[in-house]
């Protein structure tokens, strides 16, 4: 057996799910931009992951600033968690401007997707024979399906990224680690046998 020293490497990281969800959304948007094949499903994936990331982000920040009443915070709805954090962190918010208008839209989308209901969809068009194109035979879309677009996927993703920046900037410096970026740290020592 060799007398070479053994090393002990220790790595530590606090897992925050919003990083994973936003990364998945970002990849879906990139794929949706690259090709029309499967674009609808990629945009759906991006919007759902982005919507879920809002609550995960609120929980991540909340775990750093509302520790005195975490059980009550945890039971709040996503928009109520954001309201609590905005107040607690002293963030100035104009609900008629970005990112707040898009975040409100995204909250509604999240609820519509999570509690989707049947919808009778009827689409009728009168077109001259020369006006017929292959899109004239597309299936009629529900109101929910019409919301799932590349533009909305990109807009909602950008709003949540902006929210992440606002929340991180408002945190005390010692509470920011791992919130804006997925970070870890580690050390290596010589292992004593």
Spans of all domains in the chain: 14-114+137-182
- Helix (H) and strand (E) counts in the chain: 7, 2
Q: What is the CATH number of domain 14-114+137-182?
A: 1.20.120
pLDDT at position 3 is 78
Using alpha carbons, list the distances in angstroms from residue 103 to 23, 58, 112, 124, 151: 18, 13, 14, 33, 15
According to DSSP, residue 136 is labeled G
pLDDT at position 143 is 95
Q: Label residue 167 by pLDDT band (50, 70, 90).
A: very high
Q: Is the pLDDT of residue 1 over 60?
A: no
Kindly state the percentage of the chain with pLDDT values over 70: 94
pLDDT at position 190 is 86
Task: Give the three-state DSSP class for 92.
Answer: coil
Q: Label residue 134 by pLDDT band (50, 70, 90).
A: low
User: Using CA atoms, how far apart are residues 60 and 43, in angstroms rounded to an integer?
Assistant: 25
**Paired tokens of 75:** 């039971």
Q: Is the pLDDT of residue 107 over 90?
A: yes
């Amino acid at each position: 057996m060799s007398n070479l020293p053994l090393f002990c490497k220790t790595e530590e990281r606090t897992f925050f799910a919003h990083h994973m969800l936003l990364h998945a959304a970002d990849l879906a948007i990139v794929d949706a931009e690259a090709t029309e094949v499967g674009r609808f499903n990629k945009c759906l994936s991006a919007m759902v992951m982005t919507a879920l990331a809002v609550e995960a982000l609120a929980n991540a920040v909340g775990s750093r600033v509302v520790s005195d009443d975490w059980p009550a915070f945890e039971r709040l709805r996503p928009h109520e968690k954001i309201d609590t954090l905005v107040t607690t962190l002293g963030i100035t918010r104009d609900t008629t401007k970005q990112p707040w208008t898009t975040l409100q839209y995204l909250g509604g989308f999240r609820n519509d997707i999570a509690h989707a209901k049947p919808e009778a969809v009827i689409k009728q068009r009168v077109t001259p024979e020369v006006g017929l194109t292959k899109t004239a035979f597309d299936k009629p879309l529900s109101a929910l399906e019409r919301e799932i677009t590349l533009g909305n996927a990109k807009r909602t993703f950008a709003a949540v990224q902006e929210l992440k920046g606002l929340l991180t900037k408002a945190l005390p410096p010692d509470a920011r680690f791992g919130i804006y970026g997925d970070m870890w740290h580690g050390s290596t020592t010589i292992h004593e046998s």
